Amino acid sequence: MATNASTAAPIPRPNKRSRYSENLLAATAVTPPILLLVLFIGIPAVALLATAFTDYSPGIEPEFIGWKNFTTLFNSSVFYSILLRNIGYVIGVVSLQLLVALGIALILDNELPYRRIWMALLIAPFAISPVVGVVIWKNLLDPSYGLVNYVVSSLGLPTVPWMSTPLTSMIAVVIVAVWRGFPFIAIILFAALRGIPVEVKEAAKIDGATSFQIFWHVKLPFIMPALSIMALFETIFAVREFDTIQTMTGGGPGTSTSLLSHYLYRTAFGTFRFGMGAAVGWVMLALTMLMAALIIWRAYRDMFPKNKA
């Protein structure tokens, strides 16, 4: 079987003196990133989220209003439909991205001529400015003038009214989100696949395993830690998806493609209700935690395997 993450045995318990130096070493290494995280993310985020309990709006003295922002939010039917849509969106986009990326990483893992070029072409969507990428897609998917419908109608097939109804707008957003998101996962999974020792794969092959068996029993367990971390981060990214919505549909028609982050932006920056926006921020945070709970737990556990000394 694969060399799994948790089997990397820690170094045996050292003596007292070196334990002191180990503490020092660990502290030196961990302090800078933690400092950055706390100073530039933790503290400001908490400071802003605290405004959820006020009616803060720039230029007006804030007042403490308790849970009022939350009750308003939970009494609005628009909010519920956005919340549900966000959950569906995260599940859909993350699973599609992981599937596509895994497929592409597996393809790239074969001996291909000019693999370097193929890889660059496949990874390019990640390297493109998001705003420009969206503009191009918006034009490719234009219901009347876009290339996609042009090709479809030239083939004599019925065209799709992209971006014209809530459903087709949402599908367009998902297409673009997957397009922009998959290369990032593919790079990591590809690197993880390359890390599988050749002998392991060879041994499986000699045992007469099919390609699928090799994938399922050898490759998948080996890249699982990387896959679960990618799932964690993609979930975090998908819950807060903003650029694509804002530039593709602006949340419309109506609020039918709006997601929480877009709703947050509209409330906080669009309509200056920062208190209310912060309340939406809390919901986003809770949603991320809920949706990623399993992966968070896994990622956290992976950092401290059970067989620790």
Tell me which residues in 231-260 interact with another protein (CB under 8 A). Answer: 232-233, 236, 240, 242-243, 248-256
> What minimum distance in Å lies between the beta carbon of 36 and another protein?
4
Among 65, 96, 107, 209, contact with another protein (rule: CB under 8 A): 107
Q: What gap in Å lies between CA 241 and CA 251, rounded to an integer? A: 12
Closest approach of another protein to the CB of residue 129, in Å = 5
- Residues 79 to 98: which contact another protein by CB under 8 A? none
* Distances from the Cα of 177 to the Cα of 184, 208, 243, angstroms: 12, 40, 9
Give the one residue of 166, 209, 215, 217 binding another protein; rule: CB under 8 A.
166
Binding map of another protein across residues 203-222, x = CB under 8 A, - = no contact: --------x----------x
Asked if 5 and 192 count as a contact pair (C-beta separation under 8 A), the reply is no
- Distance between CA atoms of 236 and 44, rounded to whole angstroms? 18
Stretch that binds another protein, among 69-77, 86-94, 123-131, 213-221 (CB under 8 A): 123-131
Choice from 129, 155, 208, 306 touching another protein (CB under 8 A): 129
The structure tokens listed for 60 are 């007006």
Contact between 116 and another protein per CB under 8 A = yes
Contact yes or no for 143/163 (Cβ under 8 A): yes
Which of 40, 80 has the CB closer to another protein?
40
Write down the residue that tokens 């297409």 correspond to: 175
Select the residue interacting with another protein from 16, 111, 208, 306 (CB under 8 A). 111
SS3 state of residue 10: coil
Burial of 152 (0-12, 13-18, 19+ CB in 10 A): middle
